[in-house]
Amino acid sequence: MDSLSCDLLIVGAGSGGLSVAAGAAQMGADVILLEGHEMGGDCLNYGCVPSKALIAAAARAQAMRGAGTYGIAPVAPQVDYAVAKDHVQEVIAQIAPMDSVERFEGFGVRVIRDFGAFVSETEMEAGGYRISARRIVLATGSSPFVPPIDGLETVPYLTNETLWQLREQPAHLLIIGGGPIGMEMAQAHVRLGSKVTVIEGAKALGRDDPEAAALVIDRLRSEGVEIVEDAKVTAVREGITVEVEDGRSFTGSHLLVAVGRRANTERLNLDAAGIQTTRTGIKVDDRLRTSNRRVYAIGDVAGGMQFTHLAGYHAGLIVRSAVLGLPAKAKTDHIPRATYTQPELAQIGLTEAEAQQRHGDALEVARFDFHHNDRLIAERQTAGFIKAMVVKGKPVGVTIVGAQAGELVNLWSLVIANGLKMSAVSNMVSPYPTVGEINKRVAGAYFTPKLFENETVKKVVRLVQRWLP
């Protein structure tokens, strides 16, 4: 077996691993990158990119049904599901060169297309090589979690990894799991003409603000998605029948399992490197170091939030610490999340309930409803609201539900990441009419009672008016 050595060995060519590889190599580090599956990882091939492409196709179909409000004759769309999937693959193909072996070899990265396994604390084997590295970054991501449901192994089922190969349109898609993936795919498929039933063991979108989640759930139901909550699945039978704890059963043509994800650690032989794990992934400290101080874990495999943008953030910290030798600690209070249903649902920091529990009477909640935004009135997309949870003038969390929520939350990541106050948002000037005015207006809602409902302010103004020339 041949031997190789490098400054930095990266395992996994998803969002996090690719970002570390590109940054480190371009700064002069000797980098080896291992990937035994698809370049670009889950996000490009099975997650963010294909799902948003299918959602875009479904939105076009829905727009045709709802055109009557705008003076355009509505029509029933004629959907070719296979062609919609062609669109998905074309989108992946257009983005794929950015994640290709050739591009990263151009940066000076040595790419080995194989899975890696530890053989010591500083060495891994892959592709017929024994690789010694000064630092190792584990960026192996996560895979769909398939729960041990009685009978599931006897029926064909889909996950987010296999859904994209499906060419025949599901007549009736059953979805186990009412989280973001399940709800996004439910709405996309019902808009494309499938019958859809979502079966959720607790509450759909249960991690989110209940009032915001309710707007999304109500919209999906109004479009024809059957959402069954508090329905713990006990068995799956041939003919694709899902049985739940209370005795009900649901029969469909296809089954999508979307109940969560598990960290990809099984191939790594972590024991050989003295790396500890937790129930959710690899154990790391606030510098993303594992119990082996020469090894870092980033992104999904680190066992925390599972977002592509979090992996990218982690990558920046690794470049800072493992490449430049500078201090860098991970935090999560400025990491947003978004669910790309219509209406969209976005959250950063604490929800109202979480903020109330943590901050008590110090918490102030400012709210602005979308139906007061002139741009959204013009576009007839007024369902939604924004809530900012504020403590001592600084936002500690923001909930947004409605059109472009995933875009609107960007500003709040900037604000929270930099420790800015609500006055910074209030000082912003937005062009009129834009959806972005919503962020400024919620800041205005925060200051309104302090300025317009304050007797001291009114007394000062009356005094100033008496003395002004």
| Residues whose CB is less than 8 angstroms from the CB of residue 306 and which lie 6 or more positions away in sequence, other chains included | 142, 261, 299, 300
Report the C-alpha gap between 445 and 364 in whole angstroms. Answer: 11
Q: Is 182 annotated as a binding residue?
A: yes
Integer CA distances (angstroms), 363 to 254, 328, 401, 422, 424, in order: 46, 30, 21, 13, 19
Q: Is 422 annotated as a binding residue?
A: no
Q: Is 140 annotated as a binding residue?
A: yes
Q: Is 122 annotated as a binding residue?
A: no
Q: Is 74 annotated as a binding residue?
A: no
Nearest residue to 29 via CA among 115, 136, 124: 136
Q: Is 185 annotated as a binding residue?
A: no
Q: Is 16 annotated as a binding residue?
A: no
| Residues whose CB is less than 8 angstroms from the CB of residue 410 and which lie 6 or more positions away in sequence, other chains included | 336
Q: Is 52 annotated as a binding residue?
A: yes
| Residues whose CB is less than 8 angstroms from the CB of residue 147 and which lie 6 or more positions away in sequence, other chains included | 233, 257, 259
Q: Is 200 annotated as a binding residue?
A: yes
Q: Is 335 annotated as a binding residue?
A: no
Q: Is 392 annotated as a binding residue?
A: no
- Give me the DSSP letters along 82-118: HHHHHHHHHHHHHHGGGG-HHHHHHTT-EEE-S--EE
Q: Is 142 annotated as a binding residue?
A: yes
- Cβ of 257: how many Cβ atoms within 10 Å? 24
Q: Is 178 annotated as a binding residue?
A: yes
Q: Is 232 annotated as a binding residue?
A: no
Query: Strand (E) positions, 267-391?
Result: 295-297, 336-339, 344-349, 363-369, 385-391
Q: Is 260 annotated as a binding residue?
A: yes
Q: Is 325 annotated as a binding residue?
A: no
Binding residues for FAD: 52, 116, 140-142, 300
Q: Binding-site residues for NAD(+), please?
A: 177-184, 200, 260
Binding residues: 52, 116, 140-142, 177-184, 200, 260, 300
